[in-house]
Structure formats: structure tokens, C-alpha cells
Amino acid sequence: MNTGAPALDGEVRLIQTPVEQLKELRRHGEETLVGYDAATGEIFIDRSESGIIPAESFAAVHAAPLEVTPEGEIKLHIFVDAASVELFANDGLRTITDQIFPDAESLGLELFAEGGTAAVDLDIWKLSTEDEKEQAPRSCVGTDGNDLLTPWEGAKGALQFDGLGGNDVIVGSAGLDRIEGGAGDDVLRASRGSDWISGGQGNDLIAAGGGALDNVQGGAGADVFLFAAETRDGHRDRTVIGDFKTGIDAIDLGEAEVVSHKSLLGSLVLTLGGGGDQIVLTGVARYDDSLFL
């Protein structure tokens, strides 16, 4: 985007709807704004009316400072897919990434300037993989509020979830994922892949054990590790909890039971009935009832 002069207020406005419905959409208020505010000298993504708003804090404007060139120009490189918007300004000097939940038929695009004029040199192209299928985004980042983060359609693993602040609910995909709860009392649900899970701060509920090898860090706080639904899936899985705090953290086995336990290389290994899943408690030497709810 070329603002023409550094004092002009230029914006790129993305409306998630077919072009012929733009007037209707303005009335219903579903839109994502991406642009540059000359008054503040900032690029921004405004997702406050972007579609489904899972929490009040999700309706936010995220901004970053950006200086225009001596010629009064800025360059915005914008990537949009079904569930996210990525903004790269001046060849990556500043970046902003946001998740959005627009209607599936929201496909329109509008450009405008307020309080001035802007000369625009615009290229639009379709992103695709080599086989021409749409590629799902790889990261899903929450806000400082309470977020619900789940895999999007087409996701096949190798995803990263970060809840940041708030009491979040995060559900991983069927593949290998990295799940970070961040601050707050979070509910983290891994799936069938071999996942890396970190609860972060707060009293978290972490459901793991569905992958061949899950690595879990509960983090600060009193955490509960849930295995009840994962022990009878017909697979022999192993979950390593790297920071289990005896007397503070707890394991919830539900209807599962420990059929054997042993100390091995400074860790306590619990073997469960059913599929023979194992829970490894790193640094824990003693087996007793204080480990469980």
C-alpha cells in the first residue's frame, strides 16, 4: 500500500463476505480491518467485529509502530485464510498475527482511505500447496482473556497453540502438537499425536496420554493430570510428566487403575490396566495415594 504522503490516513479494509453483500455486511457488522493509522503511526488489525467472538477480550485491536519511508510509502503484505490474518509491514519490519472466526462465505475485499487520499499498488494472489489444496495455518494464539482454541478444518498436526493469559480451553489435533496454556487456570486436551504440553502458570487440568509419547510440563500451580479416557484406546502409550509436584499436583485416573509401578533412573513409572499405558513421573521416587485425586 502506498499512502502517497506520511500524513495521510490509509487503511486496507477486509470484509469477510461476498463483494455484492458489502452493504448488507456493514449493517450486520462482520468485518476485519487491516491498515495503517497515520495519526498514531501504527499498523493494526481490528478483529472486534470479525465474526464469532469467543470471549469479550477477543474483540480487540492489535497494533505496532511503523515509520513510513522518506517517499511517504508503506508496504503491507497480508495473508488471509479461513481462520487467521497475518500482516507483514515493510518487508517484515513489523508483524501482527490474529485468529478470526468469520462466516465461511465471507470472502469480500474493500480498500478505502479516511481523512485523505491514498495511491495503491495492489497485487492479489491465491495461496496453495503443491497439490492446489488449501493449507491450514500452523499456529493458533489466544489473547489475555478466556479463549477457546481448537484445530481448524483440514489441520493434520504439527500445530502450535498458545493461550497467553486468561482461563483458556485448548484442544489439540490428531497429529503432533505443541500446546501452551500460559497464565490462568487452563484446560488443555491433547489428542492422538505425540504432543508437547505446558500448563504454564495457574491451576491447570491437562488431559494427555493419547499419543505414543506425550511430554507434559504442568508448570506453576496445583495441576491435575487426567488419563481416564485415554487408557482403553487399544494403544500402548507413554506420558512423561517432567515436573510433577507431590502433594500439590494430582493424577485423575477415572475408572482406570495402576496395575504395577517401579522406580527407574530417578523416575516413577506407573503402568495402567487396559492398553498398558505408562505414566512416567520424573524425579518422583515414592508411590503412594498422595499422587492421586
C-alpha cell at 92: 517484515
Q: Which of 7-16, 134-143, 237-246, 273-282 has the lowest mean pLDDT?
A: 7-16
Q: How many helices and strands (H and E) does the chain possess?
A: 1, 23
**Tell me: the pLDDT tens digits for 98-136?**
888 777 677 777 777 777 666 776 666 665 545 555 555
Q: What is the mean pLDDT of residues 237-265?
A: 91
What was the pLDDT predicted at 5? 27
Which of the four pLDDT bands, split at 50, 70 and 90, describes residue 279? very high
Amino acid at residue number 86: E
Residue 2, Ramachandran bin (φ over 0: left; ψ between -120 and 50: alpha; else beta):
beta
The residue among 49, 91, 58 whose CA lies nearest residue 73 is: 91
Q: pLDDT tens-digit profile of 137-146?
A: 577 888 889 9
In angstroms, the CA 51 to CA 291 distance is 44
Confidence class for position 26, pLDDT limits 50, 70, 90: very low
Looking at the predicted structure, is the pLDDT value of residue 291 above 90? yes
> Could you tell me the pLDDT band of residue 6, with boundaries at 50, 70 and 90?
very low
pLDDT, greater one: 87 or 271: 271
Q: Is 171 exposed, middle or buried (0-12, 13-18, 19+ CB in 10 A)?
A: middle
Mean pLDDT of the chain: 78
pLDDT at 124: 66
Place of cell 524425579: 283
At 120 the pLDDT is 72
Quote the pLDDT of residue 146. 93
* Closest CA relative to residue 2, chosen from 113, 143, 165: 113
The DSSP secondary-structure symbol of 234 reads: S
C-alpha cell at 278: 505408562
* Residue 3, pLDDT score: 32
Interatomic CA distance for residues 258 and 123, integer angstroms: 61
pLDDT > 80? residue 259: yes
> Helix (H, G, I), strand (E, B), or coil: what is residue 271?
strand
Considering only residues 12 and 264, tell me which one the structure prediction assigns the higher pLDDT. Answer: 264
Please determine, for residue 20, whether its predicted confidence score (pLDDT) is greater than 90. no
The pLDDT of residue 151 is above 90: no
* DSSP label of 21: G
Amino acid identity at 201: Q
In this prediction, residue 204 carries a pLDDT of: 96
Mean pLDDT of 20-49: 70
List strands edge to edge, sheet with 10-14.
61-65, 42-49, 31-37, 10-14, 110-113
Question: pLDDT per residue over 64-91, tens digit each?
Answer: 998 887 777 888 878 887 778 888 787 6
**More reliable by pLDDT, 86 or 271:** 271
pLDDT, average across residues 32-52: 87
List helix spans (H) across the chain. Answer: 22-28
Q: Report pLDDT for 10.
A: 33
Query: Alpha-carbon distance 243 to 238, whole Å?
Result: 16
Cell numbers for 181, please give them: 496454556
Q: How far apart are CA 242 and CA 240, in angstroms?
A: 6
pLDDT, residue 265, reads 86
For the chain, percent of residues with pLDDT exceeding 70: 77
